[in-house]
Amino acid sequence: MSNRQIKAIFRKVRDANLNYHLIENGDRVAVGLSGGKDSFTLLYFLDLLQKHTPLLFEIVPIYIDLGWENEIDSLQDFCKSLGKELIVEKTNIARIVFDIRREHNPCSLCSNLRRGAMNRVAKRHECNKVALGHHLDDVVHTLFLSILYESRFHVFKPSTYLSRMDITMIRPLIYVEERDIRLFVEFMGLKVVKNRCPADKLTKRHEVAKILDQMEAMHPGARRHILASLENVGPNCFWHPTPKNKPAKPD
């Protein structure tokens, strides 16, 4: 990966932010960090957004410890290198999901518990927004999961206001493809935190990802075209247009 490619990722993050008003002046943004490649990338480019745009906002990195006893030294060191201190919140989510509930399909419950913990910690630290590391591939995978397994047309949005928590979830990486994230992490020499979840790579999402890999091989750019089609559907699907700001298509 070259500096030109890094700049290209930054432009996609910047464009997503401009198109969907994800971060605005005065925001205090909790950044959800798992220690995976997506969250490393998210924090890095939000830091660039903070340093190289006129936006005035604060970044609060937060790690939700699920109880796997992961080594997170690399994540803490990375935060320090950016001049930020990592907040670590210990939980027993792993024990609840796998030992107490013994979920056959654990991802949904785990996701809900993690999201709830993240929102609570964010509010405790006076954040009004929570940034998550979902990227372009995640958007498309979620769409296909909903079609294939739920018989509905559903996809998460770039920005979602949670009225019960009075907090907004944002996804600044929605224009960034997973392959670019992988290349970026390798280029930077970042050491990701090992995923100890027993369900890792054994989920329906992983199966759908493989199907879309085949589609991408046959039709290069398929994921980007699917995302663009979502943007073209209209306000009830993926985005809420404003008169002065029509979303640009991801390049």
Domains of the chain and any CATH numbers: 3-233 (3.40.50.620)
For residue range 193-242, list pLDDT tens digits in order: 877 766 666 578 888 999 999 999 999 999 999 999 888 876 566 755 44
pLDDT of amino acid 70: 79
The chain-wide mean pLDDT, for the chain, equals 87
| Residue that the structure tokens 């907040």 belong to | 87
* pLDDT score at 48: 97
pLDDT, average across residues 122-149: 94
Cα–Cα distance measured from residue 64 to residue 236, given in angstroms and rounded to the nearest whole number:
32
* pLDDT tens-digit series, residues 28-67: 999 999 999 999 999 999 999 999 999 999 999 999 998 8
pLDDT-wise least confident of 39-53, 88-102, 120-134, 153-167: 88-102
pLDDT at 205: 82
